[in-house]
Amino acid sequence: MFEELAAMQIPQDKNPLGRVTASAGLAFQDKSCLLTGEELYTKADKALYKAKENGRNRWVIADRDDMA
């Protein structure tokens, strides 16, 4: 997805790269760590902001212990 979006070169004046980019935060759970929907959302949201802080146009997977 990121490569396809970059190849489209959609102009975006407010982005330092001058084009539209995407950032994503991913969170997951397994049988050993059951989370509520709100906890899972919070983990994904924190991962999204880490992706943006690390230069945008990337994805970050939430740490297992990264709880709000």
pLDDT digits (tens, 9 = 90+) for 12-50: 888 877 889 899 999 988 788 788 999 999 999 999 999
pLDDT of residue 65: 66
Average pLDDT over residues 2-15: 87
- pTM for this prediction: 0.74
Q: Contact 23/59 with Cβ under 8 angstroms?
A: yes
The H-assigned helical ranges of the chain are: 2-8, 37-53
What is the C-alpha separation between 51 and 34, in angstroms, rounded? 24
- 68, pLDDT greater than 70: no
pLDDT of residue 66: 58
- 67, pLDDT greater than 60: no
